Amino acid sequence: MSDAEVKSGRAPAVSVILASYNAGPWISAALDSIVHAVQRTAWTVELVVVDDGSTDDTAAVLRDYRDSCPIPMRVVSQPNSGRFMAFYAAAAEASGERVLIMGDRMRLQPDAFEYLERVDPELPEGQVWNGHVPTAPDGPLVSRFWEVPLHIFWGSYLADPRPTQITEENFDRVPKGTGSLLIGRQLFLEACKAVWPEDNAALVSDDTKLLRYVITRRPMRLDPGFGAIYVPRVTVNSFLSHAFTRGTLFVDSYAGTSALRNLVLVGLSILPIAYVLALLIALPIGGGGLLLVLVALGVLGLLAPAGVAALRRAPARAIVSYLTYVVPFGAVFWAGLVRGVFVHRRAFARARKETVNTQ
């Protein structure tokens, strides 16, 4: 898309695409944040929102918002198919050469587009931007849980956010996702098809495998100057439901990517069963010392992540949240992980076959 096309109004500089599901209570706030950011820049922007089979008042909220929206806005409806398919549908409908993918619980930084307008022209053509997305600090206690695992894996960046180039080498050590991602539309569609599922797209991670594909083709920049605030789920029930889904998507993100990761995933699915069996065996044989050791190991395994996260400067409230909810979370996440191992078993089989063929 040329500058002339943008100025003429024939095509937007960016299409902002959102996937929404039962988002009636909060989708307007997400859209407001986009509109406010657009109004601070000369870039032309359109909104494309997919209603992914919502059963609440999301459709009515989106219709009302579209009717009064100061920037072009389209609403696409589809049967519930999951975020992966919803983002793909929105990108296919978009007019811009680049798309900004956003989750419906994101609040775009007010100066996000202004920052892009200033910095983006100095970077390589086709630059992909991965937004810096901290969690809103004022939510209920359960909303802070995920900050502990985030600080375990990505603590070096989170302790000192700075512009960072995401590469194949540091990919697993820095935060990334599709909650706030600016990317070429065709590249995004290409990446979707490259990681396209064989059967159930609703149980596919739209983040890790897709972004791993993207960085092999375009530079990706993680930058605190561009991003959004994440306003997470606010009830324990919705948190646990999300944890179950995340367990399955965790498997999809890593299954088949290496023999070691396959082994870790299978081990995680078996470990809790092996631990419970060990406890049951220790009880009747009168092994009080063994039982004490097993219990201590279990408690240590639960507490260790909080200690590591604290050392990596996770907020105190996040650590309290983790300690409060780790047991129910662990049970539900594990159940989702087991489902993921079953659903994505073909990826394990392909990886095993490829390993045999290369030997």
Tokens of residue 352, six digits: 């095993």
Question: Hey, which residues does 130 pair with through a beta bridge?
Answer: 181, 222
Is the pTM above the cut of 0.75? yes
Residue type, 60: A
* Residue carrying structure tokens 């960072």: 164
- Distance from the Cα of residue 97 to its chain's centroid: 23
Question: What percentage of the chain's residues is helix, strand, coil (to nearest 5)?
Answer: 55, 15, 30
Which pLDDT belongs to residue 282?
82
307 lies in the same domain as 230: no
State the 10-residue block means of pLDDT for the chain, 359 residues long. Answer: 42 91 92 96 94 93 95 93 88 95 93 95 93 90 93 92 93 90 96 74 71 93 94 86 89 81 90 90 74 89 94 94 96 93 72 54
CA atoms within 13 A on the CB side of 133: 24
192 lies in the same domain as 258: no
Cβ–Cβ contacts within 10 Å for residue 56, how many?
12
- Which of 158, 154, 207 is CA-nearest to residue 183? 207
- Note whether residue 154 is domain-resident: no
- Note whether residue 211 is domain-resident: yes
- Note whether residue 145 is domain-resident: no
Q: How many domains does the chain have?
A: 2
Q: How far apart are the C-alpha atoms of 242 and 213, rounded to whole Å?
A: 25
The 3-state secondary structure of 316-352, one letter per residue = HHHHHHHHHHHHHHHHHHHHHHHHHHHHCHHHHHHHH
212 lies in the same domain as 307: no
Which pLDDT belongs to residue 291?
83
335 lies in the same domain as 230: no
The CATH number assigned to the domain holding 108 equals 3.90.550.10
196 lies in the same domain as 255: no
290 lies in the same domain as 192: no
Answer with the one of 217, 234, 251 that is the final residue of a domain.
234
Q: Which residues of the chain form beta strands (DSSP E)?
A: 14-20, 45-52, 73-78, 98-103, 106-108, 128-132, 164-166, 180-184, 220-230
Parent domain of 350 = 238-358
195 lies in the same domain as 57: yes
- Note whether residue 162 is domain-resident: no
- Which of 6, 11, 10, 223 is CA-nearest to residue 127? 223
